[in-house]
Structure 1
Amino acid sequence: MAIEVNGVSIETTDHGYLVNHLDWNEDVARKLAEIEGITLTDKHWDVINYLRDEYINNGQNQPMERAVLKDIGKRWGTKPASKDLYLLFPLAPTKQGTKIAGLPEVMRKGGY
């Protein structure tokens, strides 16, 4: 499976995740978000950039929701509720957010 972004074909898995996270850029994120039915806001970008930073600069860490809530709260100045993240990424912030961030699919079950 592949998506077209700016005239370039980018390979994705059967579940819509990028095959190579190095193919990601903001235009790719916008296309992935569009496919997911999400219009990206600054808060979406905060979560996306956080997830990418954790994966790329922290040993391929894919944090669970509790860690995302805590760390995003530091960026936003107030700790969001789980519901706040689900309003941004309705199909699970750590899974749908990771997809839009161009990172490998999270294989663990749920997890708060």
Structure 2
Amino acid sequence: MAYMINGTEVEADDLGYLLEPIYEDEAVRVIAAAEGITLTDAHWEVVNYLREQYREHGHTPNFRNMLKGFAEIRPEVDSKYLYDLFPIGPAKQGPKVAGLPQPLGKGGY
């Protein structure tokens, strides 16, 4: 699988996750469209949070840690809020839309 981002074909795995992170906003737009997500400012907040976590730790947080960490930025955030943005699963679909590689598996956090 591949995405066309800024005129360049970018490789992704069979599930649609990029093999290497891309921090260009166009990557987010392309992948979100492929996922059927219309981006809002709330989506961008989560995308930026996930990108920051990936840069800092080399992976994205599991859902529990994502909820806890993001709530430090926006205390009113709960699991419903995140699932409304990324219905397939915030800790799985969020990193995909953010242009990051596939998250670690269960127990790998």
Same fold (TM over 0.5): yes
Task: Return structure 1 stretches of 4+ with deviation > 3 angstroms.
Answer: none
Shift of 1:106: 2.0
Contact kept, 8 Å, 2:19 with 2:101, in 1: the verdict is yes
C-alpha RMSD over aligned residues: 1.7
Shift of 1:24: 3.6
1:9 equivalent to 2:17? Answer no
- Name the % identity: 45
Q: How many residues align?
A: 107
Structure with greater contact order relative to length (CA < 8 Å, sep ≥ 6): 2
In structure 1, the gaps of 5 or more residues are none
1:65-80, aligned counterparts within 5 Å? 65-76=63-74, 78-80=75-77
TM, length-normalised to structure 1: 0.85
Map Cα deviations across residues 49-90 of structure 1 (whole Å, 9 max, x no partner): 111111111x213212222222222222x2322111000000
The AA in structure 1 aligned to 2:37 is I
TM, length-normalised to structure 2: 0.87
In structure 2, the gaps of 5 or more residues are none
The AA in structure 1 aligned to 2:2 is A
Distance 2:88 2:73 in 1: 23
